[in-house]
Structures are given as structure tokens and as C-alpha cells.
Amino acid sequence: MNSTSFGSDNSGTQVGINHGPITQNYFSSDRKGTPEQNTDNEILESLAFPQMLDRRDNIEPCHTNTCKWILDLEEYQSWRSQAHGLLWIKGKPGAGKSTLMVFLHDKLQISQDDRLGIRLNFFFTARGTEIQRTPLGMLRSLLNQIFNRDPTIRSQIRETYDRRCKQFGYGKRQWEWPQVMLEELLTSAILESANRQHVVVFVDALDEAGATSAQQLAGYFHRLVDRAEKKKLCIQVCISCRHYPIIENGQAIEIKVEDHNQEDIATYIQDKLTKTEAKDSTRQKMREMLVHQLTQQANGVFQWVHIIIPLIE
């Protein structure tokens, strides 16, 4: 990926643009530990940013007895059965893609399947700060996670970090991680980690990175999966996005959320309306008709139901 390929239509961000200086000490005097442990902590801090977890942490969990439909889909089971592959979860705005991504990530997290070694995730948001909607934020977050969870991949990142510190001088650093360097380090780290365990990457709301960046990141993940296939490594990628901008899927598997979430929407409406007691069979029948009508009007958009239900409860 070249130095301009990550540019975002939304933000105008390009490779090399800074998002504030990193000013931690290389070896902080107030930390106890070996020099290597201190360096590792410095690296984690240099990759992290304050809003890194905000979007993921603010997504409400799925409503009771919803989202489970995806586990039985042939497309999902096909992706899960592959050692390597890319799954696209597409849908209208407000269809519940982010909630579904959290459900899948958490489902794998509590799975007893031993082959699931490391799960990485990043949730784009166009409403957040610049770094929350640009590839730079995604790369820093994913590299932070894999560096923290797999000690065996740290040596190359340590060497790169130390080389940068020597170039710019120790003490308080004023340099940024270049985006191209982060891309190369993340690719190497994922491939190296996959030599020993299964790696699954979740990226939510790719479209919110902007059309150009979304296209380029799609290409990045396709190439990553292709390399995994050639090396016979276990790397799976799951990406959610809207239907537009149109992103080339290649050989990836695709699931359209609004084609499958009607029952979930009906369940949500039914549960909300049952808070109002139906005193006789006539009112019960009217409520059933209302559930059906609202489900049809929602047309696969969960967010519409969230807005409408409080108005009629």
C-alpha cells in the first residue's frame, strides 16, 4: 500500500500525518521492571490513544434472543470452517451491524474451541475524533492488541521502536509511528502469530473510514488473507460495512443483515410492547398486528424501531 492509499474522503488524512506528539520517556524512572518490560510498556503506550476503546465500549449488547440467527447461516459456518478467509457483513445504516459484530466477537471469546487463539478488533466511527475514523487509528489499535497478547511477536517491534528512538534521541519523544511502518509491522505480527495459533480480526464500520480508505483497507485485508492461504496459516477476517461505497469483495463470503434480521426486530418489538398489558384477546390481537406492521415498516433497520417504540409504548 503506498503512502497515499490510506487517505480518507471524510478526513483528508494521509500517511505521515500526526495525531499529536508522543511524549513518554523511553525509560521512566518511576516504573519498576526490567529494561525490556519498560520498553514494552512504552511501546504499548505509544500505540494506544485515549479513544481507542470508546466506540466498542459504547455499543449496547444485543437484545435477548437476537443475533443468534447468524450462527446457523451456511455462509457463516463456511467462513468459520475455513482455516483462512474473509467474511463481509453488509447492511443498511442502522441495521444492527455493529451489535452483530460485538455478538460474534464475544461469542468467539467464550468459545471452547481451542483453535481460537487471538481475537483483534477495531470499531471505526465517523462521529468520533479523527484517529477513530482513519486507518492510522485502526493500525495502532490492532498492533497494540497483538503486541500485548502475544509475547512471541514483540522482538521485531522492539527493534523498530529502539531504532526510531536512537534516530530521534532518547528521553521525551516527539516522533510518530509512520503509517506505512505500522502496516508492515502489523502484517508481520499477524503472520508470525498465526504460525502458532488461530488469529481472527474484526473490523466494524469500514465505510466510516471514507470511500478511498475503505477501498484500500479492503485490499490490505484481502492481501493478508491471500498470504495466509499461501503460507497455510489460520487467519480469518470479518469486516462490516454499509452497501456503499461499493467495495470489491473478491473471493470473500458476504452476509446481508437486513435479509435475516426480521425475526430479531419482531422479537424486540414484541418484548417492548408486552410491557403494556393486553387485558383481553382483542387487544392481544391488535398488538400482534402492530408487531407485524412495525416489523414490515422497519424493513431491516433496527435503529428505526429504537426511535419509534418509545413513541407508542
pLDDT on residue 108? 84
Q: Say if residue 279 is in the same domain as residue 159.
A: no
Q: When comparing pLDDT for 75 and 286, which is higher?
A: 75
Q: When comparing pLDDT for 152 and 32, which is higher?
A: 152
What string of DSSP letters covers the chain? --TTTT--TTT---TT--SS----BSS-TT--S-HHHHHHHHHHHHH--TTTTHHHHTSPPPPTT-STHHHH-HHHHHHHHSSSEEEEEE--TTSSHHHHHHHHHHHHHT---TTEEEEEEEE--TTS-GGGGSHHHHHHHHHHHHHHH-GGGHHHHHHHHHHHHHHH-SSB------HHHHHHHHHHHHHHHTTTSEEEEEEE-GGGG-HHHHHHHHHHHHHHHHHHHHHT--EEEEEEE-S-S----TT-EEEEGGGT-HHHHHHHHHHHHTTS---SHHHHHHHHHHHHHHHHHHTT-HHHHHHHHHHH-
Distance in angstroms (rounded) separating the CA atoms of residues 127 and 112: 36
Distance in angstroms (rounded) separating the CA atoms of residues 208 and 114: 33
Domain coverage including residue 51? 35-259
Q: Say if residue 124 is in the same domain as residue 222.
A: yes
pLDDT on residue 224? 96
pLDDT on residue 283? 80
Within-domain flag for 12: no
How many residues belong to the chain? 313
Q: Say if residue 126 is in the same domain as residue 269.
A: no
pLDDT on residue 14? 31
Q: Would you say residue 216 has pLDDT above 60?
A: yes
Within-domain flag for 139: yes
Q: Would you say residue 252 has pLDDT above 50?
A: yes
Q: Say if residue 92 is in the same domain as residue 113.
A: yes
Q: What is the pLDDT of residues 43-98, one digit of tens each?
A: 999 999 999 999 999 999 999 999 999 999 999 999 999 999 999 999 999 999 99
Within-domain flag for 180: yes
Give the count of domains, the chain: 2
Q: Say if residue 121 is in the same domain as residue 193.
A: yes
Q: Say if residue 300 is in the same domain as residue 281.
A: yes
Q: Say if residue 210 is in the same domain as residue 308.
A: no
pLDDT on residue 228? 96
Q: What is the pLDDT of residues 123-178, one digit of tens each?
A: 999 999 999 999 999 999 999 999 999 999 999 999 999 999 988 876 677 789 99
Q: When comparing pLDDT for 14 and 291, which is higher?
A: 291
Distance in angstroms (rounded) separating the CA atoms of residues 59 and 63: 12
> Contact 116/198 with Cβ under 8 angstroms?
yes
The interaxial angle of helices 179-193 and 211-231, nearest 10 deg, is 30
Q: Would you say residue 287 has pLDDT above 80?
A: yes
Distance in angstroms (rounded) separating the CA atoms of residues 195 and 204: 25
The highest-confidence range among 180-184, 276-280, 286-290, by mean pLDDT, is 180-184
Within-domain flag for 11: no
Q: What is the 3-state secondary structure (H, E, C) of 157-201?
A: HHHHHHHHHHHHCCCECCCCCCHHHHHHHHHHHHHHHCCCCEEEE
Q: Averaged over 289-310, what is the pLDDT?
A: 93
Within-domain flag for 220: yes
* Cis amide linkage into residue 245, ω under 30° from 0: yes
pLDDT on residue 174? 78
Query: Which CATH number does the domain housing residue 103 bear?
Result: 3.40.50.300
Q: Say if residue 252 is in the same domain as residue 308.
A: no
Q: Say if residue 151 is in the same domain as residue 297.
A: no
Q: Would you say residue 24 has pLDDT above 90?
A: no
Within-domain flag for 9: no
pLDDT on residue 282? 80
Q: Say if residue 223 is in the same domain as residue 279.
A: no
Q: Averaged over 297-307, what is the pLDDT?
A: 94
Q: Say if residue 161 is in the same domain as residue 275.
A: no
Q: When comparing pLDDT for 6 and 132, which is higher?
A: 132
pLDDT on residue 276? 61
Q: Would you say residue 113 has pLDDT above 60?
A: no
Q: Say if residue 295 is in the same domain as residue 238.
A: no
Output the nine-digit C-alpha cell for 48: 494506544
Confidence band for 111, pLDDT divided at 50, 70 and 90: low
Q: Averaged over 292-309, what is the pLDDT?
A: 94
Within-domain flag for 94: yes
Q: Would you say residue 286 has pLDDT above 60?
A: yes
Query: What percentage of the chain carries pLDDT values higher than 90?
Result: 71
Lowest mean per-residue pLDDT among 106-115, 142-151, 186-195, 233-242: 106-115
Within-domain flag for 29: no
